[in-house]
Amino acid sequence: MFAGAGPRPLVDGFQRRITYLRLSVTDRCDLRCAYCMPERMTFLPKKDVLSLEELYQLSSGFIARGVTKIRITGGEPLVRRDIGDLFAMLGRRLGDGLEELTLTTNGTQLAAHADALARAGVARVNVSLDTLDRARFAALTRRDSLAQVLEGIAAARAAGIRVKLNAVALKGVNEDELPDLIAWGHAQGHDVTLIEVMPLGDVEEERLDQYLPLDAVRSRLSRRWTLTDSAHSTGGPSTYVDIAETGGRLGFITPHTSNFCAGCNRLRVTATGQLYPCLGGGEQVDLRSALRSDTPEASLAAALDEALRIKPEKHHFRMQERGAAPALARHMSMTGG
């Protein structure tokens, strides 16, 4: 559909070239992580969500403008019906403008999809895993699903897919377990990345009580292990260290203690086709209307140009005040992380 779109690369007002699309396919999730959403979450009506064909058309438009990496996100992307069809369609673009197709998942449905994902060309996935303790997992996610997640991780590995574990570092919840989680992940051959909690959407928990600065975590880890800075990059916001004793790699995503926006190379699109130039900003552009217009190619090109124009230099997350409203009302599951 968008084969004739202009070849102009996506470059924002701060001369950052955009090569990475994080595309949400659903806001729905089969877990209810306490730092992400309330137990009684209200999800979007299915009629508001882009069809798989529209998601593919949108992706093709981004590829035509120089996006080389697409990460499928949610909610939980693998709960979307027929999601394997979208991976198969996008997988055929690998080597044809697209260099990498990947996803972020909570892992609960991964065992059922791992082989199909590998066949589609997915070479690596990120799995969210904050604890290896079954009771703690059930309390944190409000679901007793740790066994399914571990089964999914094993299935991905058996299918030849590299797994990176993402753990949100939570004060007083899993901070005591982080070294063991890292050691377990490295022993299984998985990289691990720690993430500071982000103030998006209203949840029942007090966000300031959850916030654990990763500079303090790194300092504690360095007293236990030998950490050496690494130049490794996956195109995202992580900075990495190699750990001599475990033989593995550890990443840090630090929206609060060390702003990473200077090298931002990504845009995020929700399942309803709303483009957010910044995870921590309220700016948005309606791509669904462009897709469904009488002139979808021209309308999408104009919408992407507008997104580049309004993309801010950096986010302004703050975690300093107890009882403060979230930085943005929308939940992480809407934007796709």
Q: Residue holding tokens 């051959």? A: 189
The Cα–Cα gap between 43 and 247 comes to 42
Tell me if 230 is assigned to a ligand binding site.
Answer: no
Tell me if 146 is assigned to a ligand binding site.
Answer: no
Tell me if 198 is assigned to a ligand binding site.
Answer: yes
| Cβ neighbours of residue 163 closer than 8 Å, sequence gap 6 or more | 124, 125, 126, 127, 153, 156, 157, 188, 190
Tell me if 32 is assigned to a ligand binding site.
Answer: no
How many CB atoms within 10 Å of residue 189? 11
Angle at 50 between CA 49 and CA 56, to 5 degrees: 150
Tell me if 56 is assigned to a ligand binding site.
Answer: no
- Per DSSP, the residues of 91-129 read HTTBTTTB-EEEEEE-STTHHHHHHHHHHHT--EEEEE-
Tell me if 261 is assigned to a ligand binding site.
Answer: yes
CB 287 within 8 A of CB 300: yes
CB 252 within 8 A of CB 307: no
Tell me if 75 is assigned to a ligand binding site.
Answer: yes
Tell me if 164 is assigned to a ligand binding site.
Answer: yes
Tell me if 278 is assigned to a ligand binding site.
Answer: yes
Tell me if 35 is assigned to a ligand binding site.
Answer: yes
Provide the CB-side half-sphere exposure for 179 (13 A, CA). 13
Q: Give the helix ranges, DSSP H, for 178-283.
A: 178-187, 207-210, 214-224
Tell me if 104 is assigned to a ligand binding site.
Answer: yes
| Cβ neighbours of residue 47 closer than 8 Å, sequence gap 6 or more | none
Burial of 167 (C-beta count, 10 Å sphere; 0-12/13-18/19+)? buried
Tell me if 330 is assigned to a ligand binding site.
Answer: no
3-state secondary structure of 313: coil
- In the chain, DSSP assigns E strands to 20-24, 69-73, 100-105, 124-128, 162-169, 191-196, 227-230, 239-243, 248-253, 266-269, 274-276, 285-286
Tell me if 263 is assigned to a ligand binding site.
Answer: no
Tell me if 288 is assigned to a ligand binding site.
Answer: no
Tell me if 238 is assigned to a ligand binding site.
Answer: no
Q: Which residues carry a binding-site annotation for GTP?
A: 22, 71, 104, 164, 266-268
Q: Which residues carry a binding-site annotation for [4Fe-4S] cluster?
A: 29, 33, 36, 261, 264, 278
Q: Which residues carry a binding-site annotation for S-adenosyl-L-methionine?
A: 35, 75, 128, 198
Q: Which residues carry a binding-site annotation?
A: 22, 29, 33, 35-36, 71, 75, 104, 128, 164, 198, 261, 264, 266-268, 278
